Amino acid sequence: MANKTDFGSIQGATSWASSFPHIFGTDEKTTNAIPALIPCAIDQDPYFRMTRDVSARIHYAKPSLIHAKFLDALQGPGTKMSASIDESAIFMKDTPAQIKNKINKYAFSGGKVTVEEHRELGGDTSVDVSFQYLRFFLEDDDELEKIRVAYEAGELLTGELKAICIKELQTYVAAFQGRRAQVGDEVVDLFMERRPLKWVGNPKATRVVPVVEANADGAEGKEGGDGKLTKNQLKKLEKQKMIDAKKAQKAKEKEEQAASTKTD
């Protein structure tokens, strides 16, 4: 049970630059302002939502998230890839022959039972694994749309769609394997070396400075787009009013005291 309750804090701690002093240094004024961008699947979202809430309370930069879509296993929608089940996925070490065999044999099809029925009714691209993989690996969006229309219209058969997917996956995996073959021990050692990094922000990013207008009471403008002040803003406003009232009272007392001294 202790492990379960601690896991959220362990997961969230990696969102803060202060967790990596050997990279970003130990100056908290600097590390606390460095934001993190976290790519994750939707199942990890609760941890980092909690981290964002905690970050605001301890004055750390809030992490931002990029939610990634799950790539289903070859067996179809709702299934999950497994490193221990070879036929569940295309692995980056697979040969062209293995890729072809896996797609043809295991990739779930959105096609109909017979060719005649498929020609008449068309296939379902929303569940077809070959098409779903092409959404990730085919760079040409126009070509992908043509494939979708043709398959759903029954013009493209499941075997033909799988052939397109096989070709794209073979090209992608072979390119990766070629790049990986060029990585030697020296490159790995350099990558794993503990070394400091200087964070200077993104010089290409457009910086937008918010304009805060003052209202009739001299308070800063409203934070949200709904026209309402937050509870924290209301407290600050009330506190400032009390401070201003005390200052005005003291100034008035000084003036009255000075006037009384002159009269005497």
3-state per-residue secondary structure call for the chain: CHHHHHHHHHHHHCCCHHHCHHHHCCCHHHHCCCCCEEEEEHHHHHHHHHHHHHHHHCCCCCCEEEEECCCCCCCCCCCCCCCCCHHHCCCCCCCHHHHHHHHHHHCCCCCCCCHHHHHHHCCCCCCCHHHHHHHHHCCCHHHHHHHHHHHHCCCCCHHHHHHHHHHHHHHHHHHHHHHHHCCCHHHHHHHHCCCCCCCCCCCCCCCCCCCCCECCCCCECCCCCCCCCCHHHHHHHHHHHHHHHHHHHHHHHHHHHHHHHHHC
Torsion of Cα atoms, 223 then 225 then 226 then 230, to 10°? -20
- Has residue 254 got a pLDDT over 90? no
Q: Considering only CA atoms, which of 64, 61, 46 is closest in space to residue 9?
A: 46
Query: Comparing 22-36, 74-88, 148-162, which segment has the lowest mean pLDDT?
Result: 22-36
- Report pLDDT for 221: 46
Can you give the pTM of this predicted structure?
A: 0.62
4-54 pLDDT, tens digit per residue, is 677 788 888 889 999 988 888 888 888 888 889 998 888 888 889 999 999
Q: Give the C-alpha distances (Å, rounded to integers) separating 142 from 62, 131, 135, 243.
A: 37, 14, 11, 64
pLDDT score, position 255: 82
Q: Over the stretch 224-246, which tens digit does the pLDDT of each residue have?
A: 445 566 777 777 778 888 888 88
Residue 62 to residues 33, 65, 250: CA-CA distances in angstroms? Answer: 9, 10, 42
Are the C-beta atoms of residues 128 and 161 closer than 8 Å to each other?
yes
